[in-house]
Amino acid sequence: MSEVTVAIRYAKALIDLAEEQKSLEAVNKDMELFLQTLKANPQLAAVLANPIIYHDKKIKILDALFGGKVNKVTISFFNIMINKGRAEVLNAAANEFINQYDVKKHIIRATVVSATPLTEANKKTIIADIEKSTKGTVKLTEKVNPALIGGFIITVGDTQIDTSIAGSLAKLKKEFAHA
C-alpha cells in the first residue's frame, strides 16, 4: 500500500476520533505544530523515518517534544503510528489531516506572490474576491518576489492567475518566438 494511501486512512481515522472526542480544533493545531517542528528540524523527520531506531526511542523523543503541549488524542495518535511501524508516514498523515480538516471546514488555502508586500487593503480585497468565488474561508499565504517587477500571481488549489509584468513579458516573448 502506498504511503499516501496509508496517510489518508490514518488521517481520516484521526479526524473521526478527534470529532468523537470533541477535540478537532485542538488536534488540527497540534498537527500544524508538528509539521512546523518537522520543517524546522529535518533531523526529527530523519529519526522518525529511520527503521533502525527503536519504537520506544521515537515515542520518548515525541513525548519530550510534544508532551504537555498537545492534546492527548494527538499523543495517542503518535504512539499508535510508531508502535504500528508507521512513523515514516507521520509527516504525510499530518499533512493529510490538515487537508481533510480544511475540506470539512470549507477552508481554502491561497498563495499570493507579489513584487512588493501587499497593503492590508489589497489583502482584504483578494481574500474577499476568493471567498466570494469559492464560498469558503480563505487562509492567505503571502510571498514577495521582486523579479515579478509588478503585479501578482495568485494560486488557489490548481488554479493560477498571473497578472505580473514578468509573466506578461514572458507571454509576449513566447508569442514573438512563434510568430
Backbone angles phi, psi at 118, to 5 degrees: -75, 150
- 49 near 85, Cβ under 8 Å? no
Backbone angles phi, psi at 84, to 5 degrees: -85, 5
CA 48-52-56 angle, to 5 degrees, is: 65
- 174 near 137, Cβ under 8 Å? no
pLDDT of residue 1: 67
Can you say whether the dihedral through the CA atoms of 47, 49, 55, 60 is positive or negative? positive
- 75 near 113, Cβ under 8 Å? no
> In 91-129, which positions are buried (b, 16+ CB within 10 angstroms) versus exposed (e)?
bbbbbbbbebbbeeeebbebebbbbeebeeeeeeebbee
Per-residue pLDDT of the chain (179 residues; tens, 9 = 90+): 688 899 999 999 999 999 999 999 999 999 999 999 999 999 999 999 999 999 999 999 999 999 999 999 999 999 999 999 999 999 999 999 999 999 999 999 999 999 999 999 999 999 999 999 999 999 999 999 999 888 889 999 889 998 888 888 888 888 888 86
Q: What is the Cα–Cα distance from 1 to 173, expressed in whole angstroms?
A: 46
pTM value is 0.82
- 97 near 11, Cβ under 8 Å? yes
User: Which domains, from first to last, does the chain contain?
Assistant: 3-103 (1.10.520.20), 107-178 (3.30.360)
Residue 141, C-alpha cell as written in the block: 499565504
- 28 near 107, Cβ under 8 Å? no
